[in-house]
Amino acid sequence: MFRSIRNAFITGLVVILPLGVTIIVINFLLQKLGTPASNFFFWFLDRQFRDMPAVALALEIISILVVFLLITLLGYCSRFVIGRILLRWMEKLLGQVPFINSVYRTVKQIVDTISQQNKAVFQEVVLIEYPRAHSYVLGFLTSKAKGEPQEVTGANIVNVFVPTTPNPTSGFLLMLPDTDVTRLKMSITDGMKLIISGGAVVPPGEGEPVKIENPEEARGRSGN
């Protein structure tokens, strides 16, 4: 009986979770975006009239739509010469403000990295020995290391993001020689499923893994 109740409760959670998350997101938009935007756009209206529940809700929804419309127009304008000039001018202005300039540059770098077209942030699913020998962890190859890490080590270093389980949004970055990284043929989606499920959902194997070779060793073998 208790198992049946437990299963029914879990099923109810699965059914209601999407609706609950949707309500939370809508409530967040109304409170954090709709209310301030409504006060900004409709400041000229009488305060008592704006505080009426039906009017306040309507103004908040209209304000959210206006904000989304302005963001969309900004995206279109950035494609043209005048829009690009205005954006560069704004970036220069923000770059001269202490603290704000560092925050803006950091956020911009993250957004530019994520929004790069035709280049996924996670390129491949890889397997590495961590935190000791014969102990393996799943990671995602993001890119080849450049700059000072490459110069100091004198090796071909790759960047591997190792997410935590079951929350893959947090994790840590490892810079490893490419010879210490084993590529897997599973997709990024399957790798995420494996991490989120804590190993419960294991995708089927698709053949032997491919070792990332050191380019110098590969050239040496080809020369021989």
List 143's β-bridge partners, or say none: 159
Domain count, the chain: 2
Helices (H) and strands (E) in the chain, counts: 9, 6
Is residue 168 in some structural domain? yes
Same-domain pairing of 17 and 109: yes
For residue 13, the model assigns a pLDDT of 66
Distance in angstroms (rounded) separating the CA atoms of residues 165 and 156? 29
Same-domain pairing of 39 and 107: yes
Same-domain pairing of 86 and 133: no
Is residue 219 in some structural domain? no
Residues 6+ apart with CB under 8 A from 40: 63
Same-domain pairing of 11 and 108: yes
Distance in angstroms (rounded) separating the CA atoms of residues 34 and 26? 10
Same-domain pairing of 89 and 168: no
DSSP state of 155: S
Question: What CA dihedral angle connects 36, 101, 150 and 143, to 10 degrees?
Answer: 20
Q: Which of 80, 114, 148 is the last residue of a domain?
A: 114
**b/e sequence 88-116, b meaning 16+ C-beta within 10 Å:** eeeeeeeeeeeeeeeeeeeeeeeeeeeee
Same-domain pairing of 61 and 148: no
pLDDT tens for 163-207 read: 888 877 788 899 998 889 999 988 888 888 888 888 887 777 654
Is residue 220 in some structural domain? no
| Per-residue confidence in pLDDT tens, the chain, 224 aa | 777 777 777 766 666 666 677 777 777 777 777 778 777 777 777 777 777 888 888 888 888 788 778 777 766 666 666 666 777 777 777 677 776 667 767 766 666 655 554 445 788 899 999 888 889 999 999 888 777 877 888 888 899 999 888 877 788 899 998 889 999 988 888 888 888 888 887 777 654 444 444 444 544 444 44
Domain extent for 23: 2-114
For residue 14, the model assigns a pLDDT of 65
Same-domain pairing of 106 and 128: no
Is residue 210 in some structural domain? yes
List 126's β-bridge partners, or say none: 139, 183
**Mean pLDDT in the chain?**
75
Percent with pLDDT over 90 in the chain: 9
Is residue 157 in some structural domain? yes
Is residue 119 in some structural domain? no
Is residue 144 in some structural domain? yes
Same-domain pairing of 109 and 144: no
Q: Which of 55, 85, 114 is the last residue of a domain?
A: 114
Identify the three-state secondary structure at position 119: coil
CA 76-81-83 angle, to 5 degrees, is: 50
Contact by Cβ (8 Å): 129, 135: yes
Q: How far is CA 5 from the centre of its chain?
A: 37
Identify the three-state secondary structure at position 159: strand
Same-domain pairing of 17 and 99: yes
Q: Which of 68, 86, 114 is the last residue of a domain?
A: 114
Distance in angstroms (rounded) separating the CA atoms of residues 107 and 101? 10
Same-domain pairing of 18 and 77: yes
